[in-house]
A and B are shown apart, each in its own frame.
Chain A
Amino acid sequence: MLLNIKNLHVSINGKEILRGFNLGVNNGEVHAIMGPNGTGKSTLAAAITGREGYEITSGEIIYKGQNINNQSPDIRANEGIFLSFQYPVEIPGVSITNFMRTALNAKREFEGLPAIKAGDFLKKMEEKKKLVDIQSKLTNRSVNEGFSGGEKKKNEIFQMAMLEPTLAILDETDSGLDIDALKVVANGVNALRSDKNAFIIITHYQRLLDYIVPDFVHVMFDGKIVKSGGKGLAIELEKRGYDWIKDQMANR
């Protein structure tokens, strides 16, 4: 199993957000995690990627057979965990080109490979830019600075394509996208899908799942998964909302 999260409890500033979260992800799978606001979806992404301030009070995150509870974010990234941010950060003064070269070479060094040659790097950039329909001039600009919402999200997928992660987590990648941008992003993701990697797609709406078809759909409520199913579950949620699940929970 690529990722195995067991009975995970995570607190922020002493407040417990994840309360016994369990999830297993195998290579080649796409898992969608849905649920109303405030149920801990983004906290899950932060915990898997090792963000400061998210304290694991109990439980385990096992990735590639190793407990990574205390691993630093850069090591996790180099081990192949990628997060497409819900709110990508603007970094004035750092060009995307420089940023990607630094990141790619960090990964290569981690794997014991020499730095990528400038020519190969540029070729790779061109190839991946096409994948998400990014304009050339964008990559000379500072990371996310002055980008539109759509450009920021495309840039996330572009970075994902460059770094070729084993486990990609997409946190509300569809929010703020118009239908055309949504299709571009989805096509990018689909092109990267293989039996050697896996995706966790965190989303509020079913819309994105029309284009990126999941193998499993999980509904999160109050810090844990309360219902799992196939892609049909997402359609049912779209039709009926989340209240019926809340009612089921209450009646239990």
Chain B
Amino acid sequence: MGLSKNKYFPLELSILKHYNDNHNGIYNSCHPKVKETRDSAIVQFENIRLPLTNSEKWRSTNLQDLYELEYLMGDEKPVFDKHINEIFQCNVRGFDTNVFSMLNGWYYNSNTQQIHTLDDGVIIGSILAAQKAFPELISKYFNEIASPSTHGLLAANAAVFTDGIFIYVPDNVESKKAVQLINMVNRDSNIMINSRNLVILGQNSSLSFLHCDDSINQHPAFLVTNTEVFLGENAKLDLYKLQNLNNWSTLANSTFVQQESNSKLKINVLTFNGGIIRNEFNIDLIGEGADADVSGIYLMDKKQHVDNQVMLKHSAPNCTSNEMFKGVLDESASAVFNGYIYVARDAQKTLAFQKNANILMTNEARIDSMPFLEIYADDVKCSHGATVGQLDKDALFYLMQRGISESDAKLLLMYAFVTEVTGKIMIEPLKVSIDDMVKKRLRGDLSICDKCVLHCSTPDIPIEFEIDLSKI
């Protein structure tokens, strides 16, 4: 341990204090499994502390400056005085969702009721409320796959999380309408928010889940989100993560997924803006025939930083996985991609593919791309590829020879580069919106968006690439 490990950072002190302030109070009223998780996680936190760049997985993402700041921890529960739509507009044309929101770490709903059963049978609400309403599910699933000991931020999150979203899709229930979670921060001081989500899909069930992380002001926030996802046999989850935070905010977002046989997971992470964004995906294919498709785009500029860590574990035979992350980095932006494929000895007939492609627009932009394969089975097909480059000069000339200006030609090529990922979005209106969003982002219209990503991307006239992009 380095010297800096000896003295506690102000943020570490705040976390410990927050735990101490609450562990004999409200934490006592938690479900026993939750209480036990909090108590053991705080001990782990004291041992492992907040992650520093001397740990391999954090080598290229330095949060140390943030640890020196004073943060408001676990804000008071906000009084519900405004409907979500008054704070935040989200009206993707033709895309009807069941919208739920979190505000400053708390489940935020007009209804005093904290757990709802939707028309199609999906159960959704606050994880705090779920402790009382579904104690057996909490016992069975909570903290079963998330491992707080992975790093100090996860340990802290497990110890002091405020609230979170709970989604339960019972066996054989097929969700008709996508569920949208808008995780908002709106506080006039530095705030750290720890939320903990649990998503359970029973056998033969399905769900589309759109998870948006947004800032609605310009204050720095430190968001740590930990989501556990369980997919039963034949369950199908489409998970979209939209990240659009202000340039002063930090998001550390971990998702742990366990997939039983023949379940299908599709994750699409769309990172548009944010100061520092760290996405961790830990996916374990434990049932035969499970399939995971994890893809993402990141479009960063200024001094923004994004770090995608994907761990795909093939524990059972005949599973397939596909990873594709693509990024465009402009100005002094930096990115990390760490893709890890692990194939267990019994996981024969595994198909696992991984690809990370990057375009660097300037000499200052930076990408660290690190693929890892660890394979113990002998009958598998695995591949990985990482590319880093500039825009194709031949293609640029080809477009310009047809009269398209250099700046428009670059836009077209960047747009074309990311459509390989955005083309995978299954919900058509969402695809259109994201498409517009990408175009706006690449055009520089959206370096910071103070409203929802989706809101921004609902123009009356869809954006088409024509000659003069500035006039659309």
Contacts and interface: CB of A to CB of B under 8 A. Distances in A.
A91 interface: yes
A102 B465 contact: yes
Interface in B400-444: 400-406, 408-409, 412-413, 415-420
Given A89-B395, A94-B416, A102-B412, A72 B466 contact: no
Contacts of A159: 402
A245 B418 CA distance: 52
Interface residues of A, number: 34
Contacts of B406: 72, 74
Nearest to A107: B403
A91 B467 contact: no
Contact of B397 (A52, A78, A106, A115): A52
Given A49-B401, A73-B400, A78-B403, A115 B413 contact: no
A87 to B, nearest CB: 8
Contacts of B398: 85, 88-89, 91, 143
Q: Is the interface of A mostly helix, strand, loop or mixed?
A: helix
A104 B405 CA distance: 12
A93 B420 contact: yes
A83 interface: yes
- Shortest Cβ-Cβ A-B pairs, 8 listed: A93-B416, A105-B467, A103-B402, A77-B403, A106-B403, A89-B398, A73-B400, A106-B467
Q: Is the interface of B mostly helix, strand, loop or mixed?
A: helix
Contact of B466 (A85, A101, A163): A101
Given A89-B395, A89-B398, A91-B413, A109 B404 contact: no
Interface of B: 392-395, 397-406, 408-409, 412-413, 415-420, 464-468
Contact of A115 (B400, B404, B420, B466): B466
A170 to B, nearest CB: 13
Scoring B395, B401, B468 by chain A CB atoms within 10 A of each residue's CB, the highest score goes to B401
Scoring A49, A110, A115 by chain B CB atoms within 10 A of each residue's CB, the highest score goes to A115
A229 interface: no
B394 A74 contact: no
A69 to B, nearest CB: 17
Interface of A: 49, 51-52, 72-74, 77-78, 82-83, 85, 88-89, 91-94, 98-99, 101-110, 115, 142-143, 159, 163
A102 B416 CA distance: 14
Nearest to A103: B402
Contacts, number: 89
B404 A92 contact: no
Contacts of B413: 91, 94
B312 to A, nearest CB: 25
A141 to B, nearest CB: 13
A85 B401 CA distance: 10
Given A94-B415, A103-B404, 16 more contacts: A52-B397, A72-B406, A74-B403, A85-B398, A89-B397, A93-B418, A93-B420, A94-B412, A99-B402, A99-B412, A101-B464, A103-B402, A105-B466, A106-B408, A142-B416, A159-B402
